[in-house]
Structure 1
Amino acid sequence: MNRLELSLERQLVLLASVEVEEADRPHLTELLDATLDWSEILYQMTTHRTLNMLTYNLKKFGLFEPLEGELKRLLNLQWAAYRERNGSYAAKLAETLRAFAEKNVVLPVLKGNLLVNTVYPSLETRTFNDLDFLMQLEDVNAVTEALEGLGYIQGEYDAEAHEIKASSRKAKMVHQMTTHEIQEFIQLTDHPFAPVVEVDVNHDILWRGNCPYKVPTRELIARAVPIELYGERGYRLDHADNLIQLCCHLYKEAVLMVWISSLKDLKLYKFADLYMYIRKFSSEIDWDGFQDRVRHYGLEKVVYYNLHYLQLLFRDIVPEAVREAFRPDDLAYLDQYAIENETPSVWEYDFFTRLFDVNRILSVEEGTAEGFKRFQAVKSS
């Protein structure tokens, strides 16, 4: 199936999940002139975290005002809420960068907090739920001191009680050894749209366990580039490393059971992140250098997974020669999941069905699901 065979609603969801270009204005207008099921559009763009991109695109091309009044009110309220929410996170990000600078540690900003400031058209158009950084494990004490000095607590958030349950030293060590991050840092606030702020500090861009890939964090941070965010000095990964990080992030969450079980595996915003980054920095990306680095780390299959589905979702954005350079002979892995198992499982649904239908979880093989539950129980104990 290709994207033009999808329903009109899902075509609109795909088109408006990234900033629409002038060349696609006629298609956007044509879709909006059709009879649409807006409940489907609103659900899909909410669960894929792209609803504010729809609002942006409609206003950009003067297509917002003809919408039904209550729909416009809903979209405007969502936009205003995320302006306040993301503005609050921006202040927290600046505060955190200042604290890291005082400790003289380099922690590149990752994912949404970087992208909303570099590739998205406005603060409201990229939603996120935490602040993400990359850290060398040798800096863990300095990072912990910096964040605890700002009032953050390592633990888990109890939403019902609106309180933080601090983790024991043993729990922190287990979390660090079994995952790609240290125990999250949490702070309660009185902000109505951001009652809790979470800081995720990653020490690996891949995953722990049977991961066959290794990208040394030390090398990524050594190549980090200074950047100013909200008046504070911060860092980002260089372009090749940022592309690698985005590809690794999307791939691991798409194929590992821990994300599949919570329906966080396939989200359009992750593909949109990659698309928007490449579009913004295409003239600055050294594609030959990128290919060399991907091959150096043996990440050809991981990167091709991203580029294959990126082409399926949006217009061509990566040079064909680059995409084809990573294409493996056997493409069966594109439909595999639970790759942490000795023998991966295979989805019975095609990619677009998996992307849009939450019932995909019902097709997870029983043995795979039970094995994951046992693993989680052991880890929790």
Structure 2
Amino acid sequence: MTEDHRPDIELLLLAARPRLTVTEVDQIGELIVRHAADLDWGWLIEQAHLNKVLPLVAQNFLDHHLYPTLPDSRLRFRYEQLFRLVADGNSARNDTLLRELAVILRTFEREGISALVRKGAVVIEEAYGGDRRFRSMNDLDLMFEPEDVARAIAVLETLGYARGKATALRRTIAPLSRSEAVYARLKVPTVTLLRPSTDRFVDYLVVDICLNQFLPDSGYDLPAGGFAHRARPISLCGEPALMFTAEEMVIDLAVHLFKEATTLRFIESGKDLCLSKFLDIAQFVKSSPELSWPTLYERCARYRIAEPVYFALHFTDLLYPGVIPAEVLVPLRPENLEYLNQFGAADKHHGTWSHESFLDRMFDRDRATKAPPSRALV
């Protein structure tokens, strides 16, 4: 499959990175000209969207005037319009989410609750230099010390958030059914709260509170909390907050990637493999000179999570060669690497992908059909 789209994949991997160098821009331009007759721009744009890097690719194409070589100049103009709408829409959406995050953090500070910000918002700040154009955000990811979770939920409820699910008309929040609520309590270590939004780019504001970084039955366990040795203070959106230390941040990004890459409900929804997750790791590692690999090894051994972390770093190195130093992977590398092609452990299903390569698997539009359906209720 990848042979049919080799130039498209090469172009996507080159363009899906922030702050392109002069050499990278030249490489992309040469690739577009050399494969003018072969590039499938529809496929490339679809894959960029599915892999949550379309805003980044669009912004790079706009900044460096990298457009398709097409016989009809009107088509080129339409691509430029598309890229501009995507890039500007993503930036506006992020502005809305980060303004809301500022309100939430300010409220927690007033109530004396320490909030740790995970993933999107802090990744934009730390790995993308605070440039909101380059990365898309879906929700606001937070973590609290266990004893603060109930208070944090109560504070969010005073801000209009509620637990439940979006209705079909996407205007209100409906309560979970009894079976859904029981399933969520037993199988989903996240508390999700929603609030309808009037913003044209955001239907719902969503806050996810992480209770454990792994799913039950996954074979791994990393409960929320322990900020005294896992976190450091930062200012985010102009408000005081916490983020993971560099080593814990890599662990968090890596185990989140592993969890979604190997779990049936994420496979079924097509969210299991997203280039954006690998790029987050690559960018954070590049942007974190304070990162101590020996400390990361010690934490992985203490938490017994070397396999999930190796999984994420191994495939990040495959997609973005050279970012993860080769010697870094050696201490984490398990003796048995069969798990790199396996999925479903948290679902009590042990499946193995049949793709010839990881790129075949990553860019397979029909990947979800090659795994059994998920029985998750939420």
> Considering the TM-score relative to the shorter chain, is it more than 0.5?
yes
Q: Which moved more, 1:70-79 or 1:137-146?
A: 137-146
Distance apart, 1:342 and its partner CA? 4.7
Partner of 1:39: 42
- Match in the other structure for 2:280: 273
Alpha-carbon displacement from aligned partner over 1:68-88 (angstroms, at most 9, x marks no partner)? 100000110111111211111
Q: 1:301-327: per-residue Cα shift (whole Å, max 9, x none)?
A: 111111111111112112211111111
User: Contact 2:61–2:83 at 8 Å: present in 1 too?
Assistant: no
Shift of 1:38: 0.9
CA 1:162 to 1:169, structure 2 compared with 1: closer, same or farther past 3 Å?
same
CA deviations 1:222-273 (Å, max 9, x no partner) are 4311111121111111100000000100001000112111111111111111
Aligned AA (2:54): L
Q: Aligned to 1:237, which of 238, 244, 251?
A: 244
Match of 1:48 in 2: 51
Alignment of 1:1-381 (within 5 A): 7-19=6-18, 20-33=20-33, 34-35=35-36, 36-63=39-66, 68-121=76-129, 122-167=131-176, 174-182=183-191, 184-208=192-216, 210-220=217-227, 222-281=229-288, 283-342=289-348, 344-349=350-355, 350-364=357-371, 368-369=372-373, 372-373=374-375, 376=376
> How many residues are matched?
367
Task: For 1:168 and 1:343, locate their aligned partners in 2 and report how far apart those are by CA, in whole Å.
Answer: 26
Structure 1 pair 290–190 and aligned structure 2 pair: CA distance change class (3 A): same
Q: Deviations over 1:14-68 (max 9, x none)?
A: 1222223344333222222231221011101111111121123234445359881
For structure 2, the 5+ residue unaligned runs are: 71-75
1:155 CA displacement? 1.1
Deviation at 1:111, TM superposition (A): 0.8
Alignment TM-score, normalising by the size of structure 2: 0.90
SS at match of 2:345: coil
Equivalent pair of 2:219/2:346 in contact (CA under 8 Å): no
By how many angstroms is 1:181 displaced?
0.7
Q: Deviations over 1:108-159 (max 9, x none)?
A: 1111111122222521211111111112332122101210111111111114
The question of whether the paired residues in 1 share the 8 Å contact of 2:145 and 2:226 is answered with no
Secondary structure, counterpart of 2:333 in structure 1: coil
Shift of the alpha carbon at 1:212?
1.9
Q: 2:22 & 2:4 partners in 1: Cα distance? A: 22
Which TM-score applies when normalising by structure 1? 0.89
Deviations 1:137-192 (Å, cap 9, x if unpaired)? 3212210121011111111111425211134799656523321212x111112111
Letter in 1 for 2:273: L
Measure how far apart 1:221 and its partner are: 5.9
User: Residues 170 and 203 of structure 2 are in contact (CA less than 8 Å); yes or no, is this contact kept in structure 1?
Assistant: no
User: Structure 1: any 5+ residue segments left out of the alignment?
Assistant: none
Q: Aligned pair in 2 of structure 1 residues 347, 13: CA closer, same or farther (>3 Å)? A: same
Distance 1:169 1:231, change over 3 A: farther
**In the superposition, relative to structure 1, how do residues 101 and 238 fare at CA in structure 2: closer, same or farther (>3 Å)?**
same
CA 139–99 in structure 1, closer or farther in 2 if over 3 Å, else same = same
Change in 2 beyond 3 A, CA 1:336/1:226: same
Of 169-178 and 149-158, deviating more is: 169-178
- Give the root-mean-square deviation of aligned CA atoms: 2.4
Q: Distance in 2 between matches of 1:159 and 1:12?
A: 38
C-alpha contact (below 8 Å) 2:55/2:135 kept by paired residues: yes
How far did 1:338 drift? 0.8
Displacement of 1:291: 1.4
